[in-house]
């Protein structure tokens, strides 16, 4: 059984008499522990798909199925990290990362203990009592990702988490994320606009068309990890994905 299935999702927005079709027909299935990347032109509806999976939006048509159960319009079933880290400036790193368990009314002592246990893996052991304003961009993203992991969900949605980082920090974060994913093996759906990032991270890549979005192509990345950007097979897949992306905007 697939961990997460999207079955013929459709979504149209209506605002002041104007109709904007956002998602035309999106169908995909993610296996347990799989790392899936979504790529496509800006405005192609990828974030709208995430908002439907999280329950923030209800699809006009179609089904979102988690572990065999339809969860349309239901919140709290998946972990979600939006593009911005959204750390609360008045809370320390430790108090930020336990926000999910706190909102869920789980025992805070246990949440803090689990957070302290994971801080070293996320490179934050020395920053438990630091405030967001004192952190680098990479550190803020690590804290936001730890907050997402502490929600303890088997499916995690990451919406361009490294898009605002410089190239070197971004590369370090990619390697680190793969290490964390390898240890915990959640199912990850990862939105990116970077073809190289998609080939570096993904088991499969789904290419979206321009709005209204639908999946134009699925590409399997059958390369061993860690992947080298200079390898011929990597370059071929990157070029093929770039061609698919360019065609999707037409």
Q: Which of 3-12, 29-38, 80-89, 233-242 has the weakest average pLDDT?
A: 80-89
73 and 58 Cβ atoms separated by less than 8 Å: yes
Share of the chain above pLDDT 70, in %: 99
68 shares its domain with 175: yes
The pLDDT tens digits of the residues spanning 44-87 come to 899 999 999 999 999 999 999 999 999 999 998 999 998 888 89
125 shares its domain with 102: yes
Whole-structure pTM value: 0.93
The reported pLDDT for the residue numbered 249 is 67
173 and 146 Cβ atoms separated by less than 8 Å: no
Query: Looking at the 3D structure of the chain, how many domains does it have?
Result: 2
Supply 172's token pair: 């370090």
Which range marks the domain in which residue 159 is found?
Answer: 4-78+154-248
141 shares its domain with 163: no
Treating both helix axes as pointing N-terminal to C-terminal, what angle do 137-149 and 108-118 enclose, rounded to 10 degrees?
130
- Residue 105 pLDDT greater than 90, yes or no: no
CATH of the domain at 204: 3.40.50.300
Neighbour-count burial for 62-88, b at 16+ CB within 10 Å, e otherwise: bebbbeeeebeeeeebbbbbbeebebe
* pLDDT confidence band for 103 (50 / 70 / 90): confident
The reported pLDDT for the residue numbered 200 is 96
The pLDDT tens digits of the residues spanning 194-228 come to 999 999 999 999 999 998 999 999 999 999 998 99
Task: Choose from 4-8, 79-83, 145-149 the range with maximum mean pLDDT.
Answer: 4-8
25 shares its domain with 136: no
């Amino acid at each position: 059984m697939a961990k997460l299935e999207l079955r013929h999702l459709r979504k149209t927005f209506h605002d002041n008499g104007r109709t904007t079709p956002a998602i035309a027909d999106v169908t995909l299935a993610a296996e347990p522990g799989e790392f899936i990347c979504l790529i496509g032109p800006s405005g192609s509806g990828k974030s709208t798909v995430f908002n439907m999976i999280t329950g923030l939006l209800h699809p006009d048509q179609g089904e979102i199925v988690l572990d065999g159960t339809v969860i349309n319009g239901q919140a709290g079933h998946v972990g979600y990290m939006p593009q911005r880290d959204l750390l609360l400036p008045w809370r320390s790193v430790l108090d930020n990362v336990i926000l999910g368990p706190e909102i869920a009314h789980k025992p805070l002592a246990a949440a803090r203990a689990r957070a302290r246990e994971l801080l070293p893996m996320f490179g934050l052991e020395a920053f438990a009592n630091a405030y967001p304003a004192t952190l680098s961009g990479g550190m803020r993203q690590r804290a936001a990702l730890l907050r997402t992991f502490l929600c303890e969900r088997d499916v995690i949605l990451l919406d361009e988490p490294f898009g605002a980082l410089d190239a070197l920090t971004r590369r370090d974060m990619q390697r680190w994320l793969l290490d964390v994913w390898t240890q915990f093996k959640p199912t990850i759906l990862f939105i990116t606009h970077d073809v190289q990032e998609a080939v570096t991270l993904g088991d499969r890549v789904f290419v979206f068309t321009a709005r209204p979005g639908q999946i134009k192509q699925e590409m399997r990345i059958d390369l061993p990890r860690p992947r080298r950007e200079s390898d011929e097979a990597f370059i071929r897949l990157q070029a093929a994905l770039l061609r698919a992306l360019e065609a999707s905007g037409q």
